[in-house]
Structure 1
Amino acid sequence: MKTPALLFLTLLAAPACSPKATDSSQTPAEDAPSSSQAGKDSASETAKVLEPFTQSVPGTTAELEMVPIAAGKFTAESGEVTDLPAFWISKTEITWDLYDVWYLELDLPPEKRSPDKDARSRPSKPYGAPDRGFGHEGYPALGMPAYAARKFARWLSALTGRNYRLPTEAEWTYVCQQGLDPDISLEDQAWFFDNAMDSTHPVAKKAVNRLGLYDMLGNVAEWCTTADGEDLACGGCYDSDGKDVHPLARMRRTPEWSLRDPQNPKSKWWLSDGPYVGIRLICEP
């Protein structure tokens, strides 16, 4: 096992962004919704049905399949319950096919591509092969810190007019738990230390889960954000022991993930020694 130690967290029930609490004692009675209206609103949210869609990227052949997740309730280990509205989540981990469009500026005409992207909102090229020689087309993009993952999501949002972002820890865990099929072995649904041969693998080569998603466990751990704003990589990776590949598996970034980075200060775009992490995106309705 060559990854940093996997850390297990008690899941936070609060969403990553929540509205400020209001004092109901200061709200006029006539402005408060009736219990029947509140019930209707709740039922409407629960009944909201989203359709799957495929996100294209203008000017390229890159696509991203999005799977709808119905509204539901997430119960943390503490017993606290969080209401989750409906959303979409990407069917697979983000592959190099799409990540390259962003970091290599393939969505721009050649004359508009910047030779010095350090001063811009996209990564400069890493010193080594970004895919570590694992494979490129159809393989999960990897080795980016959460900062770069968020920048990628904002770029895709601006380009498409949709609201893409990293999942909250609650959203990711809810989806992973809901998708588990007890009849499918870990070997059949995930790439991990015992079967990955020290490498990532093309996405969607293992069994699909009950929600129609691939590789929620293993291959690359996926960046998520806690209710307190902490970045965590969830689900285990290709180098994780089998016991550390499950919905509650967590990894935190450590200094060792950038140990061989020759830049000073260290690159904000790449993890020179952290090939374990990748991206799966949420899209809000």
Structure 2
Amino acid sequence: MIAAYIALALPIVTPMPESYTERLPDHLVEFKMIYVPAGKVNIRGKEVEVKAFYISETEVTWDLYDVYYLRLDMTPEQREANHDAASRPSRPYGAVDRGYGHKGYPAIGVAAPASEVFCKWLEGKFNRPYRIPNEAEWEYAARANAPLPEKWDEYAVFWDTSEDKTEAVKSKKPNAWGLFDMIGNASEWVKSLDDPSVMTTAGGHFNYEGPDLGPSLREPYTIKWQDRDPQVPKSRWWLSDGPQVGFRIVVSADQVNLEQ
């Protein structure tokens, strides 16, 4: 009787859904998606409900973005014919990584429209509707239902801990949900809650000072990020003067079936 009573008194614990890893066919490139449970977050004084979703463990790296923009998933014949040119960027002027670092480093200088087209390309590869997070999803994941650290030194690449550039992803500690570089390193594109057609950046970057960093930090696009771009209109693919901007991806949890 006592054992039965104890068993009835214990709460039923529902296991968290698994995170999962995607691997690009024919390439030694993979990325991990971390499960984020449903919850609430305060955005500019308003409580916002967030449905469960998956978010990439790190910012999108050059390892993955190279396959897309360099067309490494195509045959030489397809590349020569400029196949799929409308949905792939051309090479930018100068070194794409600004000399900051490449393998294992966040893809930077990627314009907002390019990040969305990349998500569509990724959806075609894995049959999952990957997308850019909205700012509630992003901030909720950045906060991770945990107190913020008093200092960012162990968790973020910023003015005090960088060499005036981005660093390799995972070079600092993750947050409570296992997400790296949500704060600092590269700022990340998010969709505005006020107008989903508008994208801004969140989290700050390597040139921010510690007291200015945090999950609620936003920095909107400015034309200065494309000052040296000679094109008219400006490129939809690259930010000629925005080496601080990167991105990460999400997918709604109800769009993921790990049993398939």
Between the aligned residues of both structures, percent identity stands at: 44
Q: Is the 8 A contact 1:117 1:123 kept in 2?
A: no
Question: What is the one-letter code of the residue matched to 1:273?
Answer: D
Q: Show the counterpart of 1:121.
A: 87
What is residue 87 of structure 1 aligned with on the other side? Answer: 53
Whether 2:5 is the aligned partner of 1:55: answer no
| Equivalent of 1:130 in 96, 107, 112 | 96
| Counterparts in 2 of 1:278 and 1:183: CA distance versus 1, 3 Å | closer
Superposition map of 1:217-228 within 5 A: 217-227=183-193, 228=195
Aligned residues: 238
For the structure 1 residues 184 and 68, does the alpha-carbon distance in structure 2 shift closer, same or farther, using more than 3 Å as the test? farther
Q: Secondary structure at the match of 2:154?
A: helix
> What residue in structure 1 maps to residue 37 of structure 2?
70
Distance between the aligned counterparts of 2:79 and 2:61, measured in 1?
A: 21
For the residue of structure 1 that corresponds to 2:125, the secondary structure is helix
The verdict on how the C-alpha distance between 1:76 and 1:240 changes in structure 2, with shifts beyond 3 A counting, is same
Residue-by-residue CA offset, 1:23-68 (whole Å, 9 max, x unaligned): xxxxxxxxxxxxxxxxxxxxxxxx6942110011122111011110
Match in the other structure for 2:130: 164
Kindly indicate whether the alpha-carbon contact (under 8 Å) linking 1:50 and 1:69 is maintained by their aligned counterparts in 2: no
User: 1:183 offset after TM fit, Å?
Assistant: 5.1
How far off is 1:104 after superposition?
Answer: 0.6
TM-aligned CA deviation for residue 157 of structure 1:
0.7
Structure 2 equivalent of residue 193 of structure 1: 159
Distance (whole Å) between structure 1 residues aligned to residue 111 and residue 166 of structure 2: 17
Q: Runs of 5+ in structure 2 lacking a partner?
A: 1-13, 256-260
Partner secondary structure for residue 113 of structure 1: helix
Deviation at 1:220, TM superposition (A): 0.2
Q: By how many angstroms is 1:267 displaced?
A: 1.4
Q: Hey, what does 2:207 align to over in structure 1?
A: 239
Q: TM-score, normalised by structure 2?
A: 0.86
Which residue of 1 is the match for residue 63 of structure 2?
A: 97
Question: For residue 247 of structure 2, what is the amino acid of its counterpart?
Answer: I
| Deviation of 1:134 (Å) | 0.3
**Cα distance change on mapping 1:182 and 1:226 into 2, 3 Å:** closer
Greater CA drift, 118-127 or 150-159: 118-127
Which digits, 9 at most, give the CA deviation of each residue in 1:172-222, with x for residues without a partner? 011111265545730110011122111100000101110011100000001
The 8 Å contact of residues 112 and 236 in structure 2, kept in 1 or not, is answered as no
**In 1, Cα distance between the equivalents of 2:182 and 2:65?**
18
Separation (CA, whole Å) in 2 of partners of 1:152 and 1:65 = 17
Match of 1:250 in 2: 218
Q: How far apart are the structure 1 equivalents of 2:180 and 2:222? A: 27
In the alignment, structure 1 segments of 5+ residues that lack a partner are: 1-46
Counterpart selection for 1:282 from 250, 253, 258: 250
Aligned counterpart for 1:265 among listed residues 199, 223, 233? 233
- Cα RMSD between the aligned structures? 1.8
Offset at residue 111 of structure 1 (A): 1.2
